[in-house]
């Protein structure tokens, strides 16, 4: 199974430049809006776009003025725009998307325990917010929209995953609403991002820096899909070119065991089992077995086709880039505990290094 290759640290810049030369110029002289653009993904996406393209406008849409102020200190280019707004506010979204060509919907309430304790807030942002993004894109005749999903949306057991599953369904079905519009909608689903805010790597790092005498482990059997932030950004960029509209794109990425992660970060620290948090899974799934009849395998990714029919025939087995996929076997699932590719401790160390975590 082909997966994202892990570049050597000294090769990473060269590889990124090679990738840049392959993805064309579709973002040049275009207006791009990122909801939740001050987050980890948004910042890296902006950095990558500015390095590789010459966008006409690059709009950060988010609700935290301090984060926008901080981000503005790093990104002062003339094409940058900063809009204060919430995805719960449809009118403000419609205003912000005026003249926009492409939208990346990254805004979400993502913390699993927080969603369990504040369910309606999660629903308002992740579901009602998704609906607002769709209507604003249609109102402005936006060309393409990609929504960021999560592995927790597949066979969800927590509220966060359930709201993101609903969001995925909304963005897929939006292609039927787009009759008479050029807008097309797809979603990208991937696993845990190395070093993202609120994730286990910064938590372990903080424990180590504070001199803890052990690392807390929820369950020694726990596995997770693993991807670097740059890999996630590159995957989303590529999918703008390959999408028809209606696909859920899933990258072929490796898994790791949480105990191996702890050993990679602190080889000499003992572990203490503390139990699974509310709404947490032992393993994650990105392509459920129940969707096997809809899943196509490509060289380095999967596509989950829509469950509904669109007006007009779309051959999802051939991407807009001419890539060809084939149906997976009946009962197939892309499962973090059954993955054919697991990271070794040495590779985990290298992933952390690429993510800027020593």
Phi, psi at residue 341, to the nearest 5°?
-130, 110
Q: Is residue 71 part of a domain?
A: yes
pLDDT tens column, 148-187: 999 999 999 999 999 999 999 999 999 998 877 889 999 9
| Cβ density class 193-230: b for 16+ within 10 Å, e for less | bbbbeeebbeebbebeeeeeeebebeeeebbbbbbbbb
pLDDT at 355 over 60: yes
pLDDT confidence tier of residue 358, bands split at 50, 70 and 90:
low
Residue 181's CB is within 10 A of a number of other CB atoms, namely 16
Tell me, yes or no, whether 242 lies in a domain: yes
Task: Answer whether residue 12 shows pLDDT above 70.
Answer: no
> Measured between alpha carbons, how far is residue 219 from residues 77, 152, 257, 265, 346 in Å?
46, 18, 10, 17, 21
Domain range for 140? 9-191+227-252+290-333
pLDDT of residue 19: 45
Q: What's residue 243's pLDDT?
A: 97
- pLDDT tens digits, 319-351: 999 999 999 999 999 999 999 999 999 999 988
CATH number for the domain harbouring residue 25: 3.40.50.720
> Percentage of residues in the chain with pLDDT exceeding 90?
77
- Above 90 in pLDDT, residue 104? yes
User: How much helix, strand and coil, in percent to the nearest 5, is found in the chain?
Assistant: 40, 20, 40
SS3 62: strand
Active site residues: 152
Q: Would 204 be classed as within a structural domain?
A: no
Are the CB atoms for 103 and 145 separated by under 8 Å? yes
Count of other CB atoms within 10 angstroms of residue 47: 15
State mean pLDDT over 212-238. Answer: 93
Is the pLDDT score of 10 beyond 70? Answer: no
Query: Does residue 5 register a pLDDT over 80?
Result: no
Lowest average pLDDT, out of 46-50, 62-66, 120-124, 194-198, goes to 194-198
- Kindly give the residue spans of alpha helices, DSSP state H, lying in 97-158: 112-117, 119-123, 129-139
Residue 8 has pLDDT above 50, yes or no: no
For CA atoms 303, 304, 307, 308, the dihedral sign is negative
Identify whether 172 is part of a domain.
Answer: yes
Q: Which of 66, 74, 63, 79 is nearest to 30 (CA)?
A: 79
Specify the pTM. Answer: 0.90
Q: Find the mean pLDDT for residues 57-76.
A: 96
For the cut 80, the answer to whether the pLDDT of residue 246 exceeds it is yes
Q: Does residue 99 sit within a domain? A: yes
Q: How far apart are the first and last CA of the chain?
A: 29
Of 256, 257, 273, the residue nearest 214 (C-alpha): 273
Say if CB 187 and CB 176 are below 8 A apart.
no
Tell me 98's DSSP state.
Answer: T
**Token output for 129:** 């917010």
Q: Would you state the pLDDT for residue 273?
A: 93
Burial of 19 (0-12, 13-18, 19+ CB in 10 A): middle
The answer as to whether 222 is a domain residue is no
* Domain-located, residue 304: yes
User: What is the tally of structural domains in the chain?
Assistant: 1
Kindly state whether residue 162 falls inside one of the protein's structural domains.
yes
């Amino acid at each position: 199974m082909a997966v994202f290759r892990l570049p050597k640290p000294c090769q990473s810049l060269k590889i990124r430049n090679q990738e840049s030369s392959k993805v064309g110029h579709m973002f040049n002289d275009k207006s791009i809006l990122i909801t939740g653009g001050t987050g980890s993904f948004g910042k890296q996406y902006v950095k990558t776009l500015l390095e590789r393209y010459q966008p006409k406008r690059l709009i950060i849409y988010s609700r935290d003025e301090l984060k926008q102020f901080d981000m503005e200190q790093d990104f002062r280019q003339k094409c940058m725009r900063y809009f204060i707004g919430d995805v719960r506010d449809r009118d403000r979204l419609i205003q912000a998307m005026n003249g926009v060509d492409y939208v990346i919907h990254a805004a979400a309430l993502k913390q699993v325990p927080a969603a369990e304790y504040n369910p309606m807030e999660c629903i308002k942002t992740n579901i009602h917010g998704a609906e607002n993004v769709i209507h604003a894109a249609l109102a402005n005749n936006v060309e393409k929209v990609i929504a960021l999903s999560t592995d927790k949306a597949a066979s969800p057991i927590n509220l966060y995953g359930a709201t993101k599953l609903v969001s995925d369904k909304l963005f897929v079905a939006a292609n039927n609403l787009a009759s008479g519009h050029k807008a097309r909608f797809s979603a990208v689903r991937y696993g845990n991002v190395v070093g993202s805010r609120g994730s286990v790597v910064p938590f372990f790092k903080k424990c180590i820096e504070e001199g803890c005498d052990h690392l807390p482990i929820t369950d020694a059997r726990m596995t997770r899909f693993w991807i670097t932030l740059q890999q996630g950004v590159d995957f989303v960029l590529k999918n703008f070119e390959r999408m028809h509209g209606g696909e859920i794109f899933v990258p072929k990425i490796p898994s790791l065991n949480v105990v191996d992660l702890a050993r990679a970060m602190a080889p000499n620290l003992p572990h203490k089992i503390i139990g699974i948090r509310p709404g947490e899974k032992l393993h994650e799934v990105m392509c459920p077995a129940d969707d096997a009849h809809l899943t196509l395998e490509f060289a380095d990714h999967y596509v989950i086709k829509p469950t509904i029919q669109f007006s007009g025939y779309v051959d999802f087995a051939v991407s807009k880039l001419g890539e060809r996929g084939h149906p997976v076997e009946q009962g197939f699932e892309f499962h973090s505990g059954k993955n054919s590719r697991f990271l070794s401790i040495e590779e985990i160390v290298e992933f952390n290094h690429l993510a800027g975590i020593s």
